[in-house]
Homo-oligomer: A and B are copies of this chain.
């Protein structure tokens, strides 16, 4: 054996930047935002190819959208449409069908989409997750613009760096971390959301407020009635503050989650399980509200927060119109919820890490949950909230 060579150490940082823009009626001819974003001609004068992918649920409410896009893009000298928009189903179905990933990859091939082109996704969080994933793996990453259309995607998932699809029923089992080229939140899309989608996205705002920002929680308390009655001003403010906190969390922490902690997953271990147990008939935000309620009551039972503070959390969710209990939470409770904890740990890997509340506006990570207390917390929610709540 000859002399062994010393190891070669590799070390580098990859910088990422993107902006989240806020507008209304993005593809109205007089709106300069998208034109300005793309407007710089490339150094070679080549037109930038755009491939749009649209959530069919969005199209149903905005049937003139493809025409508006075609007319708008025709007015951008430096850009061309690569093809007619591709339609994909909205909601979790978008992430459950592997053929949709192939269809998008095929489109990248067929229309000659390269790493200087843009794939533009318009839709809810699930569609953005699907399209972001396909864009991330095609040519090792095609530029991707997200136009989120729901509260949840505008204030949370759509402004972050994750994508993914489900695999054999396992949520987000495959995906990547891939920052978008840009995000554009168009408040007009919020006006056509159904009642459940309008409400569901608010849960993530309550979540970040509870673990990071008491003042924001108090703002939500003060505006809960307005939000419940579809006040657009209040909603755009909520989205802006929530998106900003979500983005600050990403940039100040561990954007690609190379470590273990996931503080933004407050309330999510039970939520994931509940979505699965109800075959996704409970929407993500609805499940998150129940998961937060559960872990809030647990935090109280564990002596971390006062009963009064826990009640404030439950009350604001009630004012917003959320149900705080679902029968599936109590079915085979010890089996289902125990497995929920285990699966949550497996998905993140390593040690179990759960976020609880140490105060309103202050999350804390723990590595152990007392199953007796979990059952007590479920019992409390069951006894108080088992009659579905409706806004008065």
Question: Which of A's residues lie within 8 Å of B, judged by CB?
Answer: 1-2, 4-24, 42-44, 46, 105-106, 109, 112, 114-117, 136-141, 159, 162, 164, 167-168, 170, 172-177, 179, 232-233, 236, 240, 243-244, 247, 250-251, 255-258, 260, 346-351, 367
Question: CB-CB < 8 A to A7: which residues of B?
Answer: 19-22
**Is the CB–CB distance between A139 and B5 below 8 Å?**
no
Counting from the closest, the 10 A-B pairs by CB-CB distance are: A114-B349, A115-B349, A116-B349, A12-B251, A13-B13, A5-B22, A116-B350, A8-B20, A7-B19, A44-B351
Instruction: State the CA gap A347–B168 with chains docked (Å).
Output: 31
Residue of B nearest to A247 (CB): B10
Most buried by B among A137, A162, A367: A137
Number of copies: 2
Give the residues in chain B near A13, CB-CB below 8 Å.
Answer: 13-16
List B contacts of A174 (CB < 8 A).
105, 137-140
B4 pairs with A176, CB closer than 8 A: no
> In the complex, what distance in Å separates the CA atom of A109 from the CA atom of B240?
37
| Contact A347 B250, beta carbon cutoff 8 Å | no
| CB–CB B114/A176 < 8 A | no
A114 close to B348 (CB less than 8 A) = yes
Instruction: Please indicate the chain B residues that have their CB under 8 angstroms from the CB of A159 in the complex.
Output: 8, 10
- Structural contact, B44 and A175, CB atoms closer than 8 A: no
Are A141 and B179 in contact, CB atoms less than 8 angstroms apart? no
A22-B4, A140-B162, A349-B115 known; A10 and B105 CB under 8 Å?
Answer: no
Known A140-B176, A140-B177; contact A10-B350, beta-carbon cutoff 8 A: no
